Structure 1
Amino acid sequence: MAKIIFIEPDGTERAVDAQAGTSLMEAAVNNGVDGIEADCGGVCACATCHVYVAAEWLQAAGPRTDIEEAMLDLAHEPRDSSRLSCQVRVTDALDGLIVSIPESQR
């Protein structure tokens, strides 16, 4: 179990407990975090679960896949720290991870 801190579009911090092996998207949706639309249900076919990973957590979150890179081209205001939350799997090493949700997913 890892505690993930989501910073919602309005600046509200939401700390949620996420089961190892689930995705950040699943943790957000299951806990009612605002701003994660997850239109495709987590199959990396949209960019509506876009988040910004805090700089100190980028390496721990792991590298982007080629398909994730392509989908991020569709994301609202992508940055170097952008990830699709459906593609980041929770591990115990991510306990304390901070991600920010953009103002829009479109």
Structure 2
Amino acid sequence: MPKITYVEHGGAEHTVEVPLGSTVMEGARDNGIPGIDADCGGACACSTCHVYVDPAWTGKLPPRDDMEEDMLDFAYEPDPERSRLTCQIKVTPELEGLRVQMPEKQI
């Protein structure tokens, strides 16, 4: 299982193993990591699983689709390059070492 590091807004880091085929959001939820609310349960119908992807990873992830782009308009302080919804990132072996940072708050 790939290890993914979730960084809280205050700097606390949580590195956990996330099962292949799940999403980065499910990895946070299932491991009790604070900062990812995931109110819609992964349906890409809210923006409460918003994160900033570490700059080293922005070009390594699949591109955002139109639905994710639309939902990011509702996120707290989205970044045009680094913002992603974790419910839309499927965990693959290539995500070993991924780092994501939570925003100050989810809205």
TM-score (norm 2): 0.97
Residue matched to 1:17: 17
Give the structure 2 partner of residue 93 of structure 1.
Answer: 94
Distance 1:20 1:59 in 2: 20
Which stretch shows the higher mean deviation, 53-62 or 42-51? 53-62
- Give a deviation string over 1:47-104, Cα, whole Å, max 9, x none: 0000000111112221001000000000000002000000000111010000000010
Q: In structure 2, what is the Cα distance between the partners aligned to 1:9 and 1:61?
A: 22
- Partner of 1:59, secondary structure, is coil
Any stretches of 5+ residues in structure 1 without a counterpart? none
CA contact (8 A) 1:9 1:34 kept: no
Cα distance in 2 for residues equivalent to 1:58 and 1:20: 20
Question: What RMSD over aligned residues (CA atoms) do the two structures have, in Å?
Answer: 0.6
Aligned to 1:65: 65
Determine what percentage of the aligned residue pairs are the same residue. 52
Matched with 1:43 is 43
TM-score, normalised on structure 1?
Answer: 0.97
Structure 1 partner of 2:4: 4
- 1:84 paired with 2:85, answer yes
**Contact 1:54–1:81 at 8 Å: present in 2 too?**
yes
Name the CA distance, whole Å, in 2 between partners of 1:43 and 1:61.
Answer: 19
